[in-house]
Each structure stands twice: as C-alpha cells, then as structure tokens.
Amino acid sequence: MDHDPTRAQATAALTLVGVGPGDPELLTVAAVRAIEAAAVVAYPVARLEAEGMAARIAAPWIQAGQRRLPLLFPMVAEAEPRRAAWHAAAEALAAQLQAGHAVVLLCEGDSSLYASCSYVLLALAERHPAMAVRVIPGITAAAAAAAAASSAGIPWPLALQQEPLWILPTPDTAAELGQLLEAAAAAGAVLALLKLGHRWSWVQPLLEQRGLLAQTLFAQRVGWPDQLVAAAEAVSPAEQPYFSLLLIRQGWPAVLP
C-alpha cells in the first residue's frame, strides 16, 4: 500500500508499536496498519549509524516515502546518558507530532515488556502530559520461543492451569539464580529468563549440576533466519548473543492428557 501523507496528517498521533521478536509475519494487523498510516517511523538504535533491531523487523512494512527517525538509546550502565536520551527522544517525537505528523515508534517484541519505548512513554507523560499516545502490544520473545519449540516437535506450553509464569532478566550471580530456581520450584512456577547472553557460560553448568538442563529450553534469535531453539542440554556452555533466553519448567501439573 502506498503511503498517503494526507491520511497520516489527518490522524497526527503517536503510536508505540510492538513489532514482535524477529519474523515480520509476527506483527499484528494493528501494528502493520499503524506503520502504514504513519508519516514518520521512529525506532531505537544503539549507535546512530546502526539500523536498529525493531526497524529491521518491520522493514517489509515501511514504505520508501516514509521519513525514518532513528532515536539514540546508548547501551551504557550510567543513569544520566540514558535519562538524557529518553528525554531527547520524547522531545524529537513531540516535535514531529506538533508539526502535524502521525508517528510510530517501533519496539522490539512487546511494547511494554523491558521495552525502550516504555521510557519514552514515561518521559512523554512527564513532559507532555496532554499528548495522546496509543500503544499496540507485540508478540513477546518468550511466547514466540515457546511456540517455536512446540512447532519443532518439543511441546512447550508456557503455563498451564494454576502455574505462575515468572518473566525476568537472568540474575547476575549463580547464588541468585540458585535461589530463584528454588523459589520457582516451590511455587510451581515456570521461568522465562531474558537477557541471557554471556551469562550462559555459568548458567549452563549450574543447570547441569541441578539436573535441570533437560527441562530447559534455549532460544536464540527467535523468528530470525538463524533462529536456534533447542533443549538446553544440546547447547554448548559458550557465551551466547544478547538475543537469547531460557524457559525453565521444573514440574508439570498432576492432571495432563
């Protein structure tokens, strides 16, 4: 569909769009429609010359005539540069809206779960409280990983019956992960551990020691052409890329087919 600037200007608004974990087919219809209706497509980048993960995922849905607005979110630990970047992004988006343009801000995975665009949402609420923002959810990586496993013949329901599902970043130390595994086992909770990456080199031996590798799913770059979704016992304990996660199930409900 050709981009129609008249339509976009008539509906000037900001929409935060979850674009899913990687496969462009996993954007919702609402996400695709919002992108198509936008005059300006904004997306996070870690460096200005970088393409940005969310923009790459949504690339098939972005038209050549749409203006691209990369927003710099530096990957640093210090608070100040990050705060400054969120506020600068909020101002850049507000300026586009004030100029009458419909804008989308693309967010990898879901738009509310450990998402860069949540900081922009909060910064906008503080700086421009009257500005209307629409948020379109996206398919989160943990859900996509479970579906990819089940599709590959490893049935992986994320949660059944009364089971809690705990989604959290992988802890930084073996002691914390040990405590988490014990708490999850006691609560009958399934764990989705994000931000695994380099931690896998010590997480793997710990899970092996506890006899949990067979119950753990390893998922890397889900939805990308080089996706790897496998039982964790099949994955070597080398460091892994940032876009990797674990699903850990330590038990099953009593009543099952």
198 binds ligand SAM (CB under 6 A): no
Which residues 6+ apart lie within 8 Å of 134 measured at CB?
13, 14, 15, 16, 34
240 binds ligand SAM (CB under 6 A): no
**Restricting to residues 4-63, which ones interact with ligand SAM according to CB under 6 A?**
21-22
Nearest-angstrom CA–CA distance, 156 and 216? 10
Which residues 6+ apart lie within 8 Å of 197 measured at CB?
239, 240, 241, 242, 244
Residue from 243, 248, 249, 250 that binds ligand SAM (CB under 6 A)? Answer: 243
96 binds ligand SAM (CB under 6 A): no
Residue from 55, 136, 245, 248 that binds ligand SAM (CB under 6 A)? Answer: 245
Least distance in Å: CB of 98 to ligand SAM? Answer: 28
196 binds ligand SAM (CB under 6 A): yes
Distances (CA, A) of 119 to 8, 82, 83, 185: 25, 10, 9, 33
Contact mark string toward ligand SAM, 203..222, x via CB under 6 A: ----------------xxxx
Q: Pick the closer one to ligand SAM by CB: 8 or 180.
A: 180
Give the DSSP H or E segment for 56.
helix 53-58
Q: Pick the closer one to ligand SAM by CB: 46 or 95.
A: 46
Nearest-angstrom CA–CA distance, 139 and 110? 5
113 binds ligand SAM (CB under 6 A): yes
Residue 234 phi, psi dihedral angles, 5° rounding:
-95, 0
**Are 231 and 250 a contacting pair, CB within 8 Å?**
no
- Binding interface with ligand SAM (CB under 6 A): 21-22, 108-110, 113-115, 140-141, 194-196, 219-223, 242-245
